[in-house]
Structure 1
């Protein structure tokens, strides 16, 4: 009980998972109570072993504090493990407890050497990421290969330092594994400043992601602008796209019907094709005599495609240089193969239209998995999903199904092929629990929502109740680490990063000098908002006209075609379609009123008869010309009976 002694108190109660310790503060002094703190670790001596316990709560026995009196207080602790002597004679920490504390056992401050043993991962290639909250003199270390082998997650509310933690962990991961390739899906365009020496920034102005990279579902998400696709139009695309791919390869004519034999090229095969061939095939179907019920869907699909290629926001998909087979160059640039000293690719998604972000994320995640799969694990890939609850929401009805499937496939099977997943989210309650459960290492920062805290407790198998109870009150830059990369749940504070390397959106600072003159160019801002520089579709115009001129003639008359009802969207796309020949006269539809001018009169009389109008009133309005083509009523037969018995066709003049 002397000053400087490690003695704190004695055990007065003990259970299977916790214990109660009693201590006395003499004469109202607080020197002893200052050694206790919620969330700190203490030791309880049990023979040669030392049981490690975590402080959960504390209170005085009388719920009062005497200024000059002796104050007895009680501390509730949770038992975490013990430090014991191993077979080799060295002291080591284990999560199990071989001897529980007895009543009267002495509790004392934990030794610094014991703290080092507790949080030591036992791996030689561990990395320092910060300091322990309990003892700032001790380093907080993690085992990076274990973190990447089975995925990791960083959760926390806005402003607690998630992006800074991601930057620190990625720098440590690159240093630990030089062969690692990192792809960051950056929805806020903030990681470009964090890796100036190790990253390549891919934005909308420098992005070339050809449309033929997209699978059918992903392309439909772009063409239909995020709305539900029309099944009839999807079926047309499923039939036409393989023919367009064959036409590009030169094996078969894209304007002929598909052959009955099986083909290795499908709508999902990443083979280049021309939009001009696609539209020419749609025009060819519109001009056919058969399948007239498909023509409205064909016209609608053509309008959607032309509108997409004319949208300047889709320039990264439909630019002039996306027609050639650039799959190797695109993969090498996006996934940093070989890398050229910059193993990180930050994919800025803020400038991409919101209805296309899901498709782009699906393409990138799917290709990352396939690269790891077909390279037999020769490339170690890490896909970091910022704001992951956008792509894999908890509600199956929300989000984009191909994106969910691509990320789920990485989470479930990626570790077999060297593809790791990093999940960053501020709302773990809105994230698919299956994805979160696949993350074996979790860095939980401050979470204010009760449901989010409950999700973390249920997702981490080895988390203690008292440890996770701190999630609502830990400070900025502080986290509780669970999982494979750490020996025991560890409360730590991340190392601060240099100001110049902090993640921020294109160098935006937190504080703006209001007295400084404005340097914002509003003209450039408005020009970028309007995106006046549209896509270059000159090559598309030439190829489309060439495909139209090579179109085979229609049946029977050697070259007629149906009038094009999509002239306005085609003109809006920046090109003029060749003129169409009209229908043959005998094929033009004729209204019934033109066939028989008396049909309107007949309908009037029929309506009057069916409404119950007396026959004499109807006959009082005779029309001699009307009765002639149909013949006179038989003797004894009224006009009403004559009209109702005769079919409509017999009353129409031939």
Structure 2
């Protein structure tokens, strides 16, 4: 059989079984015959005549072929192929065995037109003729049968046919894009989002962008939020989220969290004297304020309440954890990296403005928000992601679906890892709630990850459409294989070798699993890092401004010589209440060098009364802890009376420790 015979592809009118497919005449695209068949697979035998490879070139893994069974044509996917002998015999006939997976069939419908069905009514018989798949049949297989479609690329098997998705199914039932680094995930997501916005202009998109890449992809449709222009009030944080900030990602101390749970509602009630708080007053009258209620309060009031508890005589036993909590709050409000939470703009009731800006309500021609997370401290990223996902769900819920939102999570395995002991539980809970219940209220989820094996399987299972790009890890491939329909599981067998920009799409948004190539994105909307620093990887250190680097490390504006002043509400707290400056006390406790006679705030260990103490002017009576005695001031640096006393005490201690224990017992 010659190549001229094979290349005669009649892609014109649909003539059913009358297109010479059941004969072996030249030009009928004959490839071979079925020699074995089971419920899901079949084996095809083909001959390469005289050692020619022209026919064998038409067999390749991942291609669809057609098997004639009466008036129907069974569609099969090539999985593997081999010859009946070792090696390829030149000049002789070579018999090939091709394993195929049965996908569905094309049959004539009631209206007289050919249509594709995923089920098989007539299985191939032994000797059934196998043909190349013609373009008209490929078009029917991948036809979604709806007008709400968008072209996102071309089919790998036939580049003349468009790869289409059903946009409503993509958005309403969540989607995932998985693939190893460098295969084009971000570019593919950019293309999908542009197509979604074209199909649904009312859609609002929030992108959690840890690499600051998506801002360049939507130059005319997005607003960029970073630490320079972000105002996310601390009072929007729930108790668990606020504790995550204070404890810097470490396990919280139960006593301190309980104190916050008691005092934050009191601080919120203390704030009701401010202007424009009628709604808050009504809430207070119903006693509905909790530590999680998103109403404003002042850190100054919270610190005053902590001080009040410390000062109570009956609360002496609570002082260690209260003092520790006080220091944690002071550390957070004085950290310049947390200015987006504790700035002067965050002490007002700005929840409406915050929601409007982040979720683009109204959009004002820019329906996309790229939330750049790279500048946010790593120990706060989980809390910020939790707040954004939680607010997205609540906005869609309480608007009764009037606002359609799409939350895109780049590097999603960071927020919802497979190991339930890792990650931040409120973030996992917020994203899971969108995945499980979001489509009922108009909020959907887009998951992007390079390690699907490290992603919570519950989240991935809720994504009804998956675009699987190249994955080299066997465990990651197994995760995708478990998600794809059983009838097309062999599609994943070549997932480790597909090219950049190529993907296997399956799920609700496509008719059948398809191998496709994403169309190219215009240069002006290609995603790229846009962090304000142009990368200059030259290896030449000359001309590097080290001072500017240090200032950025310290989070100081390069134009300023000194750091910014403390938040205004702390200043007012010091001025109005007349209490000691919190930031000065904190600096004295943590930034000064350790001197003789100083002690940790929470050191309450008792000192044996029979030994002289170095930390006090006199010996401590029995039953009294060191924390309750006066603190000795720092000793002078050079010889003095205090130095003599210190040396004398040390000498006495040493002599007592050297004497045998029996000599110290009063006989």
Task: Report the TM-score, using the length of structure 1 for normalisation.
Answer: 0.82
Within the candidate set 173, 179, 184, 1:161 is matched to 184
Aligned in 2, Cα 1:365/1:398: closer, same or farther, shift over 3 Å?
A: same
Aligned length: 571
Name the residue aligned to 2:518. Answer: 494
Q: Provide the residue aligned with 1:45 in structure 2.
A: 68
CA contact (8 A) 1:479 1:491 kept: yes
- Could you tell me which residue of structure 1 aligns to residue 530 of structure 2? 506
> Which residue does the alignment assign to 2:308?
284
Aligned: 1:56 with 2:79: yes
Q: Specify the alignment match of 1:203 in structure 2.
A: 226
**Residue 473 of structure 1 corresponds to which residue in structure 2?**
497
What does residue 613 of structure 2 align with?
none
1:65 aligned onto 2:82:
no
Q: 2:413 aligns with which of 389, 394, 399?
A: 389
Q: What do residues 373-407 of structure 1 show as CA deviations (whole Å, max 9, x unaligned)?
A: 10000100100000001100111110000000000
Residue in 1 that maps onto 2:45:
22
Q: In 2 relative to 1, CA 319–32 (structure 1 residues): closer, same or farther, beyond 3 Å?
A: same
CA contact (8 A) 1:57 1:75 kept: yes
The corresponding residue for 1:175 is 198
1:592 Cα deviation (Å)? 2.4
Q: Post-superposition shift, 1:537? A: 2.9
Report SS of the residue matched to 1:505. Answer: coil
For the residues of structure 2 that align with 1:116 and 1:407, how far apart are their CA atoms? 37
Instruction: State how far apart, in whole Å, the 1-side matches of 2:589 and 2:232 are.
Output: 24
Aligned equivalent of 2:586, options 564, 569, 591: 569
Are the counterparts in 1 of residues 34 and 126 from structure 2 also a CA contact under 8 Å?
yes
Give 1:68 deviation, angstroms.
1.0
Displacement of 1:612 in angstroms is: 7.7
Task: Report the CA distance shift for 1:294/1:611 in structure 2 as closer, same or farther (over 3 A).
Answer: same
| 1:274 matches 2:291 | no
Distance 1:498 1:511, change over 3 A: farther
- Are the structure 2 counterparts of residues 564 and 112 from structure 1 closer, same or farther at C-alpha, using a change threshold of 3 Å? closer
Structure 1 residue 461: Cα displacement: 3.6
Label 1:514 to 1:265 Cα distance change in 2 as closer, same or farther (>3 A).
Answer: closer
CA contact (8 A) 2:300 2:573 kept: yes
SS in structure 2 of the partner of residue 59 of structure 1:
strand
Partners of 1:323 and 1:285 in 2: CA distance? 23
TM-score by length of 2: 0.81
**What's the counterpart of residue 378 of structure 1?**
402
Q: Do the aligned partners of 1:276 and 1:547 also contact (CA within 8 Å) in 2?
A: no
Compute the displacement of 1:59 (Å). 1.3
After TM superposition, list the pairs within 5 Å mapping 1:452-467 onto structure 2.
452-462=476-486, 464-467=488-491
Report the CA distance between 1:523 and its aligned residue: 4.2
Q: Secondary structure at the match of 1:89?
A: coil
Hey, what's the Cα distance between the residues in 1 that align with 2:174 and 2:499?
Answer: 25
Q: Is the 8 A contact 1:193 1:507 kept in 2?
A: no
Over the aligned positions, Cα root-mean-square deviation in angstroms equals 3.0
Quickly say closer, same or farther: Cα 1:261–1:203, change in 2 above 3 A.
closer
In 2, Cα distance between the equivalents of 1:25 and 1:361? 59
Corresponding residue to 2:349 among 325, 330, 342: 325
2:249 to 226, 237, 242: 226
Q: 1:97 is matched with which residue: 95, 98, 120?
A: 120
Secondary structure of the residue aligned to 1:99 is coil
Correspondence list, 1:149-548, <5 A: 149-250=172-273, 263-462=287-486, 464-506=488-530, 522-533=546-557, 534-537=563-566, 539-548=568-577
Using the alignment, how far apart are the partners of 1:333 and 1:405 within structure 2?
Answer: 24
Q: Secondary structure at the match of 1:290?
A: helix
Q: Distance in 2 between matches of 1:514 and 1:303?
A: 44
Q: State how far apart, in whole Å, the 2-side matches of 1:221 and 1:511 are.
A: 33
Structure with greater Cα Rg: 1
Moved more, 217-226 or 5-14: 5-14
C-alpha distance in 2, partners of 1:612/1:158?
72
Partner of 1:627: none
- Cα distance change of structure 1 residues 370 and 568 upon mapping to structure 2, 3 Å threshold: same
Q: Distance in 1 between matches of 2:504 and 2:582?
A: 63
Superposition deviation, residue 116 in structure 1: 0.5
Distance 1:36 1:175, change over 3 A: same
Secondary structure, in 3 states, of the residue corresponding to 1:393? Answer: coil
Q: Using the alignment, how far apart are the partners of 2:349 and 2:435 within structure 1?
A: 30
Q: Quick one: distance in 2 between partners of 1:192 and 1:314?
A: 23
Counterpart contact for 2:343–2:567, Cα < 8 Å: no
**In the TM superposition, what is the alpha-carbon distance from 1:101 to its structure 2 partner?**
1.1
User: CA 1:542–1:573 in structure 2 vs 1: closer, same or farther (change >3 Å)?
Assistant: farther
- Cα distance in 2 for partners of 1:594, 1:91 equals 95
CA shift in 2, pair 1:573/1:208, >3 Å: farther
